[in-house]
Structure 1
Amino acid sequence: MDGLWRAIRALIVLQLCTCYAAPDGLTLNLDNIDSVKTVSRELAASAMKYYDGNKPGGTPGLISSMGDFNWWEAGALFGQMVEYWYYTGDTTYNEVTKQALLFQVGPNNNYEPENQTRTEGNDDQAFWAFAAMSAAEFKFPDPDPKQPQWLALAQAVFNRQAARWDDKHCNGGLRWQFNPLNNGYTEKNTISNGCFFQLAARLARYTGNDTYAQWAVKSYEWMAQSPLIDKQYQVFDSIGFNETGCNSEPGPIQWSYNMGTLVAGSAFMYNYTNGADVWKTRLNGLLDNAQKVFFPSQHGGKIMVEYACEPSGNCNKDQRSFKAYLARWLAVTTQLASFTSDRIMPWLQESAGAAFKVCTGGAPGGVVCGRRWYEAQDDGTRDIGNQMTAMSVIQANLAPKRPPPADHKTGTSAGNAGAGGAGERTLTALERIANRHYTIGDKIGGWILTLLLMAVAGFLGVFILSPDDELGHMLKWFTGGVTQQTWYGRNR
């Protein structure tokens, strides 16, 4: 009889709370702070099991266990771990997070480390700046005074990117890549420009310096007049350009992290401007489209879906983590623009429950999650992106219980408005060659040089040039063979 009453009481509790059960006895009650923290702790442990940069032979800040795991996503992971501490108060990962964020700053304290200069783009750099900015806003423990400070690191990245603003092509905007040898150098994409917009907005709110706000307005309005954002607030991925102008359409694909960075940036500007109508209108428009695209009605209208790749099962290693950033940025939006809370929190609650339902395992660090939350069953996929997205959307439900991001009045991080150095780094000889404007004479000379190189290479039996290596790319520039490619969703 006692067992029957216990079962009845348990059923009543489930009816009265926002509760979800997963295999192996782990439960999630979104109405109970301790329950959300417990599940977040399990997911943090499982995400950090992928990290080996703090182990012998590892490089702090890098995740070599994932093979070709991209540098930017490591920055995103540690930004998420800053937020994990902010939401839960758990200090388990603070030291390893601080170590990673400081080790990757590079010789000029601007997140341009020498081991990443070959592939680093503006968006990659921005995700590390976001981690530093979150550390300042959430009052993550400050570094030793002799080390770079969180706010100054974010300011350094802003300064570097503001110097790269390109009015010559497409009337403004940042290129995707700032290294002329990289694929994407002749593209302007939403994530690079959206990140710059969001970083400027966050710096404006934190410092009170209106120069940052002016840059935020400039960058948003450039995107809005470009093909990247249309009048219905659809947010597309990228456009290509050449010396004669912008020469490609962005394509119909929309990604959640593009939307997320614009939503959060608009929320920071709404807050900074004390509720200006223009930012409220933009924020509402973006949320309207976010709901249509990423919380589709066929799955109930409240469960987050990366619709461009999840149903087809072809999400690449980058795209598997995109939902994590939309969830994080929706959460902070509710703190900065309270009128959005009644709309956003049901999305985060339903998505958290759906994410939890596709998780399994109960041992510490042993909780693993599937990818397609809307299926309500584990799809068997395993990836750090799965762990990051589940962790992000679940801990985001703690946002209403936490104070909003700090500013210079309530924060502790020291800034440096001139951080990062002026202008660009010195280009290598190959980059100077690749970045110059070529005449017909140059190209004829390039053909001759190419033929000579081919003859020498053939003679030596080592003709192994790849179109993706530096010399191969340089030769394509000599011969006019560089072609325009659109790389959707960071698939380089």
Structure 2
Amino acid sequence: MKQSIIHPALVASALFISSCASLKLSATDGESVRNAAATVAYGLMSHYTNNQSTTPAADVGSFVSPEGVDKLYWWNSGAIWGGMVDYAMYSGDNSYVEATKHALAANVGEKADLIIESKRGEEGTDDQAFWALSMMSAAESGFPAADGAPAYIDVAEGAFKSITSRWDTTSCNGGLFWQIYADNANGLKYKNSVANGGLFQLAARLALHKKDDSFANWAEKVWDWTTKIGFIDSNYAVYDGAGTENGANCAKIDHNRWTYNHGLFTYGAAAMYAHTGNKVWLERTQALVKAADYFFNHHSEAPGVLAEVVCEQKTCNMDQQSFKAYLSRWLGKTAKLVPETASTITPWLKSSAEAAAQSCSGDKNQCGTKWYTGGFDGLPGINQQLCALETIQSLMLSIESKGDHDQGSDAKSSIVPTPSPTPSPSPAVPEPSIVASSSHIEEPVQFAPTAVDSIAPTPAAPTPYASPAVPAPSEASDSVCEEPVVVTVTETGTVTMTVEPTAEVLPTSVCETPVVVTVTVTSSSFAGVEPTSIIKPTTAVVSSHVSAPAAPSSPPVPTAVVPPVPAMPTSGFVVPTGHATPSPLPFDGAASKRSAASAVFTVAVAALMLFL
């Protein structure tokens, strides 16, 4: 993952939006999108309190719903951390990296396969798969790992082996049960799209990431079974599942269509196309995207706005309140991975993100449930924040990559799901005959869940960059006013620096015009830095105006807008953040009219100034 550190002086700015006004968002303005995402991310992470010294190890990484509200289950927390991995990757804001990496490490399980005994009463196949998909996101983005933790990709693969070991042929000619344990309240009596779709996407992404067809073979196997049994129909609608009790054999399908099921298969198909290059997978991906119109155009008063059709009339439970987040997440990734789909997906995400922002007009920008109402509906919560965040931050991908608008996924398609070619046997991932238990075939991994007292403390705020003083000459001269002052930056220490090509600092100068200071970056460690405009190569030159004869009496404050990072919450609980509570600074938001883009980046520097 390419990271940058947001300037700590701007940490509090995300909270300055009035609590009675909707969140400001221009869906085509990257800066506006990042600002809005930062505000919503803060609102989401304000709910996370299981990072304190008194938190039991088994609870680290789990969000807790407020008293009097439905329980937020373990799988839901895993899904949230996947969103926070993406937030850090897309925005460059590392405020929640420490909390995220320790939450992931604390939940890998004794065998690093995401089977956790303390969660036995609530862990199903889908729960395990959602945590595994978050581990995949961390692996794909190069997300930092906690000290001593197993590699994210190893955990994802461990979960894959665990899940595939439970492929069951005693009913419905195959497929995965929703649950893992027969003594679970829901038992082994229902096979559904979320369990099988979770394996499908996990296998496809493992195949793409590891360039290993043995995983692709399993993705093909799951797709073929799912379409044959009827969980995906000829129009690419994805249904919930079917029972197996009393010889039902998946004959009576629950035809409810949920956003998260659709998202699982859509991005899984996209990953299969990216891995294989097979046009069949492109057609399947496009057809699934086209079928997602059901969720975006269900309400005529809000065309293009995402809705959880089945339950949004105040009947969604805690789980269901989060489902929209995953469709937004995986559609955004699909548009990036398969640009042919972007012309359909991107307008939906823009309309939905703007509607979500309008709903975030509750107290302290709490977000609502029903985005098609045009405002806050009075139904806030943890998952409402997650849905808004995922939809808004997905725009960061679409703004950067517009996709191929000549080949949109709204093209007519008569493709009907058909069995894939029989995959070749894969010795690396053996298929069991009949397994419907919680047994595991891998050896235990020597890694214990992260203890709370081993979690790194919140680091101090990085030292802000201060422009080096320019000593005043004995007298003013034309050469002083006309010649540039050169500052050479070398690699010896760590600071955070804000550079804006046209930022003008009020001078105390004998010159009528400011002198250009040229900052030359000379370290190869900047190769991963990607600001909004010009500091992209390993050696770069930018200019900033300062006074020639003397430095200002105090460090100047640029008026440039940079993506804000939410401030520390009020006292009473701990929210992970990489910054100390700063003094608030005004900012212009998306309304800034400067033509030059600001660039915020982290450099290892000690300033050696050469002046005339």
Alignment TM class, shorter chain as reference: 0.7 to 0.9
Q: Which has the higher contact order (CA 8 A, sep 6+)?
A: 2
Matches within 5 A, 1:162-173: 162-173=164-175
Match of 1:158 in 2: 160
Is this contact kept in 2: 1:255–1:308, CA < 8 A?
Answer: yes
Matches within 5 A, 1:43-122: 43-58=40-55, 59-66=59-66, 68-122=71-125
Q: Counterpart of 2:218?
A: 215
2:109 corresponds to which letter in structure 1?
G
Query: Which whole-Å CA distance do the structure 2 matches of 1:426 and 1:158 have between them?
Result: 13
How far the C-alpha of 1:117 sits from its partner, in A, is 1.3
The structural deviation recorded for 1:400 is 3.0
Deviations along 1:12-32, one digit per CA (max 9) or x if unpaired, are xxxxxxxx9994475212222
Q: How many residues align?
A: 386
Determine the structure 2 residue equivalent to 1:370: 368
Q: How far did 1:64 drift?
A: 2.9
Native 8 Å contact 1:22 1:358 kept in 2: no
Contact 1:263/1:333 (CA < 8 Å) preserved in 2? Answer: yes
Q: CA deviation at 1:317?
A: 0.6
Deviation of 1:426 (Å): 5.5
User: After alignment, is 59-68 or 152-161 more displaced?
Assistant: 59-68
Q: Structure 1 residue 204 and structure 2 residue 207: aligned?
A: yes
Q: Where in structure 2 are the equivalents of 1:322-401 lying within 5 Å?
A: 322-360=323-361, 366-400=364-398
Distance 1:325 1:89, change over 3 A: same
Segment of structure 1 superposing worse, 333-342 or 25-34: 25-34
Deviation, structure 1 residue 115: 1.0
Residue range with higher mean Cα deviation, 371-380 or 227-236: 227-236
Alpha-carbon distance between aligned partners in 1 of 2:327 and 2:270, rounded to the nearest angstrom: 13
**Quick check: 2:43–2:365 contact (8 Å CA) kept in 1?**
yes
Secondary structure at the residue paired with 2:357?
A: helix
- The one-letter amino acid paired with 2:325 is A
1:36 correspondence with 2:33? yes
Question: What amino acid sits opposite 2:287 in the alignment?
Answer: G
Contact 2:22 2:375 in 1 (8 A): no
* Kept in 2: contact 1:87–1:402 (CA 8 A): no
Q: Deviation string for 1:174-215 (max 9, x for gaps)?
A: 110010112041110000000100000000000001000000
1:135 to 123, 134, 138: 138
1:141 deviation in Å?
1.5
CA deviations 1:305-361 (Å, max 9, x no partner) are 101011x22011111010000000000001111000011000000000011111126
Distance 1:66 1:222 in 2: 40
Aligned partner of residue 304 in structure 1, secondary structure: coil
Could you tell me whether the CA contact under 8 Å between 2:19 and 2:365 is conserved in 1? no
Unaligned runs of 5+ in 1: 1-19, 405-416, 428-492
Whether the 8 Å contact between 2:360 and 2:366 is mirrored in structure 1 is yes
Q: Distance in 2 between matches of 1:355 and 1:209?
A: 39
Deviates more, 1:168-177 or 1:243-252: 243-252
**Structure 2 contact 362–376 (Cα < 8 Å) conserved:** no
Q: After the TM superposition, which parts of structure 1 deviate over 4 Å for at least 4 consecutive aligned residues?
A: 20-23, 401-404, 423-427
Residue type matched to 2:336 in 1?
Q
- Could you tell me which residue of structure 1 aligns to residue 318 of structure 2? 317
Letter in 2 for 1:101: L
CA RMSD of aligned residues (A): 2.3
Amino acid at match of 1:262: F
Give the structure with higher Rg (CA).
2
Question: Aligned AA for 1:368?
Answer: Q
TM-superposed deviation, 1:297: 5.7
Q: Is the 8 A contact 2:22 2:357 kept in 1?
A: no
Is the contact made by 1:263 and 1:329 (CA closer than 8 Å) also made in structure 2? Answer: yes
SS of match in other structure, 2:254? coil
Shift of 1:286: 1.3
For 2:260 and 2:250, locate their aligned partners in 1 and report how far apart those are by CA, in whole Å: 24
Q: In structure 2, what is the Cα distance between the partners aligned to 1:65 and 1:308?
A: 23
Would the aligned equivalents of 1:263 and 1:283 in 2 still touch at CA under 8 Å?
yes
Aligned equivalent of 2:128, options 118, 125, 128: 125
Partners of 1:90 and 1:119 in 2: CA distance? 33
Distance 1:293 1:396 in 2: 17
For the residues of structure 2 that align with 1:268 and 1:93, how far apart are their CA atoms? 28
Amino acid at match of 1:324: A
Q: Distance in 1 between matches of 2:303 and 2:401?
A: 28
Cα deviation digits, residues 419-474 of structure 1 (max 9, x gap) = xxxx86569xxxxxxxxxxxxxxxxxxxxxxxxxxxxxxxxxxxxxxxxxxxxxxx
CA distance in 1, matches of 2:160, 2:379: 37
2:506 counterpart residue number: none
Distance 2:50 2:64 in 1: 7
Task: Tell me if the contact between 2:295 and 2:306 (Cα under 8 Å) persists in the aligned partners.
Answer: no
Q: Of residues 270, 275, 281 in structure 1, which corresponds to 2:273?
A: 270
Which letter maps to 1:177? Q
C-alpha separation in 2, matches of 1:295 and 1:86? 30
Give the aligned partner of residue 495 of structure 2.
none
Matched letter for residue 380 of structure 1: G
Q: Which one has a larger percent helix, Structure 1 or Structure 2?
A: 1
Distance 1:233 1:372 in 2: 25
1:79–1:134 CA contact under 8 A, matched in 2: yes
Give the Cα–Cα distance (whole angstroms) in 2 for the partners of residues 313 and 403 of structure 1: 36
Deviation at 1:127, TM superposition (A): 0.8
Q: Residues 226 and 299 from structure 1, CA distance in 2 versus in 1: closer, same or farther, beyond 3 angstroms? A: farther
**Aligned position for 2:283:** 281
Contact 1:269/1:279, CA 8 A, preserved across alignment: yes
What is the TM-score with the length of structure 1 in the denominator? 0.75
Contact kept? 1:256, 1:294, Cα under 8 Å = no
* Segment drifting more, 393-402 vs 129-138: 393-402
Q: For the Cα contact (< 8 Å) 1:21–1:28, is it kept in 2?
A: no
Task: Measure, in 2, the Cα distance between the counterparts of 1:239 and 1:53.
Answer: 36
How many angstroms does 1:379 deviate by? 0.7
Identity, in percent, stands at 37
SS of alignment partner, residue 28 of structure 1:
coil
Q: Report the Cα distance in structure 2 between the residues aligned to 1:368 and 1:351, rounded to whole angstroms.
A: 16
Structure 1: distance between partners of 2:23 and 2:379: 20
